[in-house]
Every structure is written in C-alpha cells, then in structure tokens.
Chain A
Amino acid sequence: MSGIDWISFVIVAAVALVAACVVISLYALALRMLSTAGKAPHVTPAEFTDAITIVTPAEAAAEAKRIKKAASRSPLTPLQKRLALIVAYTCFVLCALVVLFGIYLIVPALHS
C-alpha cells in the first residue's frame, strides 16, 4: 500500500520495551537487594508537593527507625547481607551504564 513503515514501528516498540525493562529491572533489583541487605533506601518526598502524602519530619524519623529495626530482625548472615549489598551496587552501576549509553545515542557528535 502506501509507504507506511510498519516494521520500523515494531522495531521501535521492541527496542523501547527491552531497554525500559532492562533499566527498570536493574534499578528495582538493586532496591530489592538493598532492602534485603537491611539498608532499604529511605527518600522522603520534598515537602508540600507530594500528590498523595505529606511526610512530616516525625513520620520520616519513625520510618527510618522502622527500617533499622527490620534490618536487625533479618535472618540473613552478615556474609549474605554483604553479598546482597554487592549485587545491589553492581545493579546500580549497570543501570547507570545503560543510561549513559542512552546519552551517547542522543549526542551524534559522540558516535558519528
């Protein structure tokens, strides 16, 4: 029919799906391993902007305490915890590399 390039749409969809899933998986796995290692990240939202909840300083402190308490109850051995932490940081680094590759693709001066 006309010159509609269906194949390139499919390629774009596939590439985007794979790339997004890789980044998400790495970052999520890193967070999962962090919390397994007893170091669940604890990022309070900027005051007044959060669409769902507003976290007061007291609530934030309580959350930090809860995370610490949960970590002390963890059944993992110190070695296992350290291993989880290593996996977490590896995932963060890999995720950053994928994003840097994305930036490399944006800037034509770098690859042409």
Chain B
Amino acid sequence: MDLTLIVVLVIALALFFDFTNGFHDTANAMATPIATGAMRPKIAVALAAVLNLVGAFLSTAVAKTISNGLINEGHGGVLITPTMIFAGLVGAIIWNLVTWLYGLPSSSSHALFGGLIGAAIVGAGFGSVDYVVLLDKVILPAVLSPIIAGLVAFCATRLAYAITRRYDRLPDGRAGFRFGQIFSSSLVALAHGTNDAQKTMGVITLVLISAGALAPGSNPPVLVIAACALAIGIGTYTGGWRIIRTLGKGLTDVKPAQGFAAETSTAATILASSHLGFALSTTQVASGSVIGSGLGRRGSSVRWGTAGRIGLGWLMTLPAAAVVGAITALIGLLGFVGVVIDLIIAVGVIVLIFAISKRNRVSARNAFEGVNEVAESGRVVKIRKVKPKKPKRSAA
C-alpha cells in the first residue's frame, strides 16, 4: 500500500479529530459564564478559542502520553501501523459527533483511547492491550475525577455563599462573581489548550515516526504544533452549542457565585492533576464541578436524569469508540481498497450526522432559548417581586 497516502490521510483525520475535540470541549470552560450572562456567547467562545490556541503552544509535555503505555508497542509488543491509527481516529471522531448530536459532554480522550484500543485488538489480538494500565490510567480516573471535582465545587460553592451572605438586607455584591467568572473560565480554557491539543500532536508525531519521517523519540515539529493549535482553536470557536446548553442549564440553574466556584474548582482540579503527573479528563472534571456546585447552593436542584444520561454516555464512550475503531480496522485489513471503503463510509456517516443536526439547530442564538422565553414572559406580565421577610435576629 502507498505509505505516504495513508500518512497524509491520518494527519488530515487527526486534525479533524482535533477540531471535534475543540468544539466538544468549549462547553467545559464557557458553558457556565454564558449561562450566567458573564459574557456574550460569541465573545466567550472567541476568548476560549484564543486561549486554546495559546495554550497549545505553551506546553508539549503531554504530547507523548498518548503513544506510551496502554498499547504494548516496541520490543516484544506490536508495531502500530498508520492504518490502525487511521481506524482509531475514525472511531474517535464518529463517537465525538454522536455524543455532540445528543448534547452529551463526553471525554474526547476516552474516545481516542477507545478507537485506538479497538483497532489494536483487531490488528494484533486481545493481548495487545495492557488492561492494568487501562484500568489504572483511564477507567479509575474517569470514575474518580467527577467525584473529586464535585466535592471541591460543593465546598467552594458553600464557602462563596457563606462568606457573602448578609442578614441585614444590604446588597451582597454577589453580582461581582460574574466579573470573576471571566477569569476563572479563561483559566479552564488555557488549561484545556495545554492538555488536549497535545493528544493530536502526539498522534501525528507517532505517525510521522512510524512512517520514518521523524527520528524515534523526537519532539513534535513546529508545523505540527501550529496546525494542531489552529484546528483546536477553530473547533472551539465553532462552539458545540448543544453541549454548552447541557452543561449550562441542563444539569442545574447556574448563578454567578456558583459558576465562579465551579470554574475555579475545575481549573484547580485539572491543574493539580496534570502538575502531579496524570491528566484527568477536562470534560469529566467540568461536569462534576457543575453538579457539585448545584448541590452546594441552597434552593438549587440538580437534574439527575440529565446527569444519568451523561454518565451513561461516559460508560459507553470507550467501548463504542472501540467497536467503531475495530470495524474500521477490520475493513482496513483489505489493504488500500479497504481504507478507501472506510473513508467513504466515515465521510457518509459524518455527513449524515450533520444532516440530522440541521433538523433542530442549536447555535449561539438559541442555546438558552427555552429559559429566556420564561424570563421574557415574566417581563411582560410584570411579576411583582416579593420582598423577603426580615429575618429574626434571635436565630443563631
């Protein structure tokens, strides 16, 4: 088979995966500030895009983790062929688009891991996957990270409300959290850029190494870094509005203090974990934070049905992407014809998903529409605000 053709194909697919990664994960940073009105939607996604772009250039430390471990390679292991990476990417992209269609925030890295694992199993049998590493590095963090983030966000929200609570009916200044949200969400976007663009850089570098264009163990070239940064930036700017809607108002009604607490917790958890050596999924941390902050604010409720759907999506991400990756790899075994068939099917599925998404379009204009109609109608009817009763001083 023509090696250079498949290398070009894989690089193109990897960049497209980076794009879907960007637009899947805009919500992690920007759903809550958009929901509380801290920033206009377009400005928020533009800011996130720029910070992702900058973040991608800041650090290339994570770029190698995707190829190391997990799949036994090198001495005594299997050689990862470009066709297998191609199949893995197809699995990851298709699963990312399906979860986007349903507005589910799911981990792009899990999709990528799943796709690669599926392809590796077909290409080299079940022995090619290191299941201990899989449990240790992927599945356990996936279970623990939302719990950790949720706990942190719960405490942070409680603290924010306790400190600003006033019993004398003077203004409490909580609207000031809206201003803080701009910074806390920016930090999340920057951390995301330093983490997620790396994965694609790692994949492209891996392909270039396997094709012999780069020496083994070399760092990603500048051109690769720039292309990945651009792809994730454009993806972020496009904005996965369906997912923003789910995180911003689907889980709980977010108030400024709560949003600030959730974003700070997300940033703190991601930074702590990546600084201490293992990267947690941004998506799972952000979702956990939103739920935790919803539990922390008095009088707010968490919609557990939505949370359950998201959890189900997480459970399915790895196996589902693995199945797609495996099927793609299976067809790919036919050689060049197989890859062409794969490509045609993949493009067909992608076009189909976009066609289905057109039926109920969600964009910056209508992401929060349903709630706004309620607020608008409240404005028309002129609901008189009931003043709170003066609290009894005697209560401790």
Contacts and interface: CB of A to CB of B under 8 A. Distances in A.
B333 interface: no
Interface string A5-25: 100110111011101110111
A51 B253 contact: yes
Nearest to A20: B268
Nearest to A14: B272
Interface in B1-56: 34-41, 55
Given A17-B155, A25-B159, A103-B187, A51 B164 contact: no
Given A20-B264, A24-B156, A35-B171, A50 B375 contact: yes
B58 A109 contact: yes
B73 interface: no
A106 interface: yes
A19 B276 CA distance: 14
Contact of B164 (A28, A53, A66): A28
Interface band, chain A: 35 or more
B152 A13 contact: yes
Given A3-B132, A21-B159, A41-B176, A53 B375 contact: yes
Contact of B276 (A15, A17, A51): A15
A30 B190 CA distance: 25
A7 to B, nearest CB: 10
B179 A49 contact: no
**Main SS of the interface on chain B?**
helix
Contacts of B151: 13, 17
Contacts of A53: 375, 378
Contact of B163 (A3, A32, A51): A32
B176 A17 contact: no
A51 B178 CA distance: 13
Contacts of B144: 9
Nearest to B58: A107
Interface band, chain B: 35 or more
A86 B184 CA distance: 23
A56 B59 contact: no
B148 A28 contact: no
A97 B240 CA distance: 32
A69 B36 CA distance: 26
Interface string A35-66: 10000111111111111111010000001001
B95 interface: no
B352 interface: no
Given A28-B160, A50-B36, A51-B36, A34 B190 contact: no
A107 B59 contact: yes
A83 interface: no
A68 to B, nearest CB: 10
B255 interface: yes
Interface string B317-360: 00000000000000000000000000000000000000000000
Interface of B: 34-41, 55, 58-59, 61, 132, 135-136, 140, 144, 148-149, 151-153, 155-156, 159-160, 163-164, 166, 170-180, 183-184, 187, 190-191, 194, 248-249, 253-257, 260-261, 264-265, 267-269, 271-273, 275-278, 280, 368, 371-372, 375-376, 378-379
20 contacts: A4-B135, A8-B276, A20-B156, A21-B152, A24-B159, A28-B163, A31-B164, A31-B174, A34-B176, A35-B164, A40-B173, A43-B176, A45-B37, A46-B38, A50-B368, A51-B35, A51-B371, A52-B255, A105-B275, A107-B58
